[in-house]
Amino acid sequence: MSTATQSERVALTGNEAAATAMRQINPDVVAAYPITPQTEIVQMFSNFVADGDVHTEFVRVESEHSAMSAVIASAASGARSMTATSANGLALMWEMLYIAASYRMPIVMPVVNRALSGPINIHCDHSDSMGARDSGWIQLYSENAQEAYDNIIQAVRIGEHPDVRLPVMVCQDGFIISHAMDNLYVLPDEDVQAFIGEGGGQEHSLLDVDNPATFGPLDLQNWYFEHKRQQVEGMKNAHRVIPEVAREFADVSGRSYDFFEEYRTEDADVVVVVLGSTAGTAKDVVDAMRADGHKVGLVKIRVFRPLPADKLVESLLSRSAVAIMDRSDTFSSAGGPVYHAVRHALYDVDERPPVSNYIYGLGGRDIRPSQIRRVFEETLEVARTGQRSRSISYLGVRE
């Protein structure tokens, strides 16, 4: 971070950091509806609009379904478009999420992760965004306010890249990040503007009356499959574009990003895979266990869609054992979504390590260093015994 001399160190909550990024992006259109714990983002952004700090057309819609519909339309007109949501708001957007992705609209949406009802709960888990993992959106996960801020700015460039043209969700943990004041470095407004560029990135515009185009026509057996295959190609291209954007961002900010972060994994026998704020706590646990002589490390996934499957295999294949921590469940009775993804990626490797799954933190249940330590200790035991089984544990639930 020392190279980021032009950055200002501030103390902001995750929501304030997200709203600041949105102000600096200065999108053409924001259509949003408030929902805890995302509300503050929209509230603060509407202040920026009222104060004339941004030129954004702010659309006060009557639901999240309308919010997503509105930004799909504005993106189709070539306007840089954003919204933000959480939990049930994201769920209400569901059918429009798929339409945004399949129309290839580069919408950027901060998602403040919150447990999906029911029973009704306002606190953090990943059931909302994980449920949308197959909607065709790029998904970035953030450990803290800094990463939420940095990811939102990079998301604009990733989504608008002509070879990608996909919407991007930037996830941060509800309350744990969104409502916690944290230190971060904020770029000068002009640096953000220079980094994101003119943008828009749409080849055709709904508002170009001289070159009229039809968006969203009926697409039956003879074409639908071709368009879905194109969509996959956009995701594939994102594998190339995400690191390109990260390199440019590092030049501006001094902060480096990749598909995932490897923390003290060089010689690690045991690696735990996690995403979101829990990675911060887990890093402290890694340090404590390293001090005790255990060869343990952490992989923190930043990009879950597209899934960096090959790179994860490269990072994990030489380990003696791996544990995946999931903050949501698939209710398949066969493990959580991150576990499925990572375990699947490892299948083609002959010498693959045993992979176990810990589902934790549902509905905002606190995750303590002692619990993460238990995950490492049990995984070290798996490494010692070489025991291989489909092990799915619920960490922190009263048994």
Region from 187-195, 228-236, 302-310, 322-330 binding other proteins, contact rule CB under 8 A? 228-236
Find the radius of gyration of the CA atoms of the chain.
Answer: 21
Q: Of the candidates 33, 45, 48, 103, which one interacts with other proteins according to CB under 8 A?
A: 103
Q: Which CB atom, from 294 or from 368, has the smaller least distance to other proteins?
A: 368
183 binds other proteins (CB under 8 A): yes
Which residues make beta-bridge pairs with 173?
A: 113
Name the minimum Å distance from CB 8 to other proteins: 12
Q: Of the candidates 68, 169, 170, 176, which one interacts with other proteins according to CB under 8 A?
A: 176
Q: Which CB atom, from 40 or from 195, has the smaller least distance to other proteins?
A: 40
At 289, phi and psi to the nearest 5?
Answer: -75, -35
Q: Which CB atom, from 271 or from 367, has the smaller least distance to other proteins?
A: 367
Q: Of the candidates 203, 292, 350, 351, which one interacts with other proteins according to CB under 8 A?
A: 203
147 binds other proteins (CB under 8 A): no
381 binds other proteins (CB under 8 A): no
Q: How far apart are CA 343 and CA 355, in angstroms?
A: 7
Q: Are 333 and 90 in contact (CB under 8 A)?
A: no
236 binds other proteins (CB under 8 A): no
- CA-to-CA dists, residue 208 to 77, 115, 161, 199, 204, angstroms: 8, 41, 21, 16, 8
- Half-sphere exposure at residue 146, Cβ-oriented, CA atoms within 13 angstroms: 17
Q: Which CB atom, from 77 or from 391, has the smaller least distance to other proteins?
A: 77
Q: Where are the alpha helices (DSSP H) in 133-211?
A: 145-160, 189-196
- CA-to-CA dists, residue 256 to 28, 146, 147, 171, angstroms: 28, 12, 10, 18
300 binds other proteins (CB under 8 A): no
Name the minimum Å distance from CB 273 to other proteins: 17
Sites for other proteins among residues 302-341 (CB under 8 A): none
Region from 52-60, 79-87, 275-283, 330-338 binding other proteins, contact rule CB under 8 A? 275-283
Name the minimum Å distance from CB 21 to other proteins: 19
Q: Of the candidates 3, 6, 8, 11, which one interacts with other proteins according to CB under 8 A?
A: 11
397 binds other proteins (CB under 8 A): no
Q: Which CB atom, from 36 or from 56, has the smaller least distance to other proteins?
A: 36
Q: How far apart are CA 139 and CA 179, in angstroms?
A: 21
Q: Which residues contact 302 (CB under 8 A, 6 or more apart)?
A: 140, 141, 142, 147, 151, 257, 258, 259, 260, 261, 275
Secondary structure E strands in 19-87: 29-32, 57-60, 81-82
235 binds other proteins (CB under 8 A): no
Region from 79-87, 98-106, 238-246, 252-260 binding other proteins, contact rule CB under 8 A? 98-106
Name the minimum Å distance from CB 225 to other proteins: 8
Instruction: Transcribe 316-358 into DSSP letters.
Output: HTT-SEEEEEESS--SSSS--HHHHHHHHHGGG-TTPPPEEEE
Sites for other proteins among residues 152-171 (CB under 8 A): 165
At 296, phi and psi to the nearest 5?
Answer: -125, 155
Name the minimum Å distance from CB 78 to other proteins: 12
Q: Is 85 helix (H, G, I), strand (E, B) or coil?
A: strand
Of the candidates 192, 198, 199, 302, the residue with the CA atom closest to the CA atom of residue 252: 192
AA identity, residue 285: V
277 binds other proteins (CB under 8 A): yes
Q: Which CB atom, from 298 or from 345, has the smaller least distance to other proteins?
A: 298
Q: Of the candidates 52, 55, 62, 214, which one interacts with other proteins according to CB under 8 A?
A: 214
Q: Which CB atom, from 195 or from 376, has the smaller least distance to other proteins?
A: 376
> Which residues of this chain interact with other proteins, rule CB under 8 A?
9-11, 102-105, 122-123, 144, 165, 173, 175-177, 179-183, 203-204, 211-217, 219, 222-223, 225-227, 229-230, 233, 277-278, 280-281, 283-284, 366-369
